[in-house]
Copies of this chain bind each other. A is one copy, B any other.
Amino acid sequence: MSSSLPIGVFDSGIGGLTVLKALIRRLPGEDFLYLGDTARLPYGTKTAATVERYAQQAVYALVRRGVKAVVVACNTASAAALPALVAGNPGLPIIGVIEPGAAAAVAATRTGQIGVIATEGTVRGGAYQREIQRRLPRAQVTAVPATLFVALAEEGWTEGEVALAAARRYLEPLFSNGATAPDVLVLGCTHFPPLTGAIQAVAGSAVRIVDSAHTTAEVLADLLVDARLTSAEADGVCQFLVTDGEERFARVGPAFLGRAISAGEIERVNL
C-alpha cells in the first residue's frame, strides 16, 4: 500500500460530504476520492442486505481505482455493511462512522441519557444503541428515525418554518419528560449536521449535539500514523465519483462540503 494513494470515502450520495469536510480539515495534505452512489440513494429506507450489496460494489470500485484506506461515511452503510467490507478486503484499513459517533456521545454525556436520530435503517439495525452501551453499560439510549430530515437537507430547507416544525415533531416526544430527557443527542446521519440550528432550538441549548464527522477524522488520522500511510504532500486534492446526476451533485453538494465543487472534479461511474 502506497502512502501517496488517496483515501477513499464512500457514501450513499451527498450527505457524506459533511464527513469529507471534517476529514479534509483534519488531514489537509491527503488526497481524497469520494464516491457517492447518487443513482441509488437514499440507503436509509432500504433493507440491510441490499445496502450491504451496494456497499460492496462501491468499495470494490474504490479499490480498483487505488486507495490506501476507506471511510464509510454513510451511517446506514456503516451499520449494515462494515463487518462484511472489512472481511472482504483484508489488508485495507476500512472505518465507519458509527463507532466514532458512539465514542463521541459517551465522552459527552453526564447523565447517561443519550438520544440518537438517524434513518429508519440505522435505527432498526440498532448499531448505535449497541456501540454506546458497549462503552457505557449504564447508558439509556433512545433512537428515533427522522427520515424527513434527509429530504429537508437535500432541498436546502435547513432553516425556517418547515425545518422547525419537523424538528418539533421528531424531537419534542424525546425531550418532553425532564427526568428522561437526553443530555446528548447524536446526529446519526450525515445529512443532519446542516439542520443543527433547528435541532438545537427544539432540544434546548443545554443539550450537547454530537456527530461522527470530527471523531471519525481523529480515528482516521491515528490509523494513518499507525499504518505509516500519512501523505508527505502539503495540499491534497479531491476527486468526486457519482453514479448519477453530476449537475445536481455540483449544485446541492456545496451546502454539505462547505466549498464549491467544479464540474471538472466530478466523474460519472457505473457500479
Q: Chain A interface (Cβ within 8 Å of chain B)?
A: 38-40, 45-47, 50, 120, 147-148, 150-152, 154-155, 157, 160-162, 165-166, 168-169, 244-245, 248
Given contacts A162-B166, A162-B169, contact A50 B244 (CB under 8 A): yes
A245 to B161, Cβ gap below 8 A?
Answer: no
> Residue among A40, A120, A166, A168 with the most chain B CB within 10 A?
A166
**8 A/B residue pairs, CB under 8 Å, sorted by A:** A47-B244, A47-B245, A50-B245, A147-B151, A147-B154, A161-B165, A161-B169, A162-B162
A156 to chain B, nearest CB (A): 10
User: Which chain B positions have C-beta within 8 A of A40?
Assistant: 39-40
A42 to chain B, nearest CB (A): 8
Number of copies: 2
Q: Which of B46, B147, B166, B168 contacts A244 (CB 8 A)?
A: B46
Q: Beyond A39-B40, A39-B46, A40-B40, is A155–B147 a contact (Cβ under 8 Å)?
A: yes
For A152, what are the chain B residues with a Cβ–Cβ distance below 8 Å? 148, 151
Chain B residues within an 8 Å CB radius of A162: 148, 162, 165-166, 169
A150-B151 in contact given A50-B39, A50-B244 (Cβ < 8 Å): yes
Q: Chain B: which residue is nearest A146 at the CB level?
A: B155
Residues of B close to A157: CB separation below 8 A:
148, 169
Q: How far is the CB of A248 from chain B (nearest CB, A)?
A: 6
Name, among A50, A147, A152, the residue most crowded by chain B CB atoms within 10 Å (CB to CB).
A50
